[in-house]
Structure 1
């Protein structure tokens, strides 16, 4: 399945579960450190190699693997690969 069709399928699922769904594109080496949100968040790597740290625990999800980040958890996202990473993120709608 190509990336755009995968994105559409995941976004349909997340919307049905009450989450938004947006695409983020990061070049190699990009780091987003120590974020906290008041709502639950989902992330999914579509392409590339990302590292997520959630409440001190490090994850390296494979493309297509969903990661849940609970509300209030300190978290970071890092492109640890040598190519551009494309990943989805969504927040629980209130």
Structure 2
């Protein structure tokens, strides 16, 4: 599933407004999460496709058992109905964007 990860999709420093405009053109919403070090969101399933982009920090996504690591500007697509988890693997706070179609 590594084809679900696009490294360097957005220029760094990441402009959240630019990401939001890009996603809206593609039919996705855009919201922000700010997670402390070590924060984990485990075992989620959605009825929509989801996009994730890191603004600051690093995330590990586990999508259908495969681990993807995202840094600033990277974009991942989580397919609808895929079991997935999101872990902040950065030593500090990670700010990331997510949206659904």
Shift of 1:2: 4.9
Which residue of 8, 25, 48 corresponds with 1:16? Answer: 25
* Residue 81 (structure 2) aligns with: 72
Q: What is the TM-score normalised by the length of structure 2?
A: 0.86
* Aligned-partner SS, 2:70: coil
* Aligned-partner SS, 2:61: strand
Shift of 1:62: 2.0
* Residue 85 (structure 1) aligns with: 94
The total of aligned residue pairs comes to: 90
Residue 55 in 1 paired to residue 64 in 2? Answer: yes
* Aligned-partner SS, 2:41: strand
Q: What is the TM-score normalised by the length of structure 1?
A: 0.92
* Residue 6 (structure 2) aligns with: none
Shift of 1:61: 1.4
How far apart are the structure 1 equivalents of 2:13 and 2:77?
A: 23
* Residue 3 (structure 2) aligns with: none
Give the 4+ runs in structure 1 shifted more than 3 A.
none
CA RMSD, 1 decimal = 1.0
5+ unaligned residues in a row in structure 2: which ranges? 1-11
How far apart are the structure 1 equivalents of 2:13 and 2:87?
A: 23
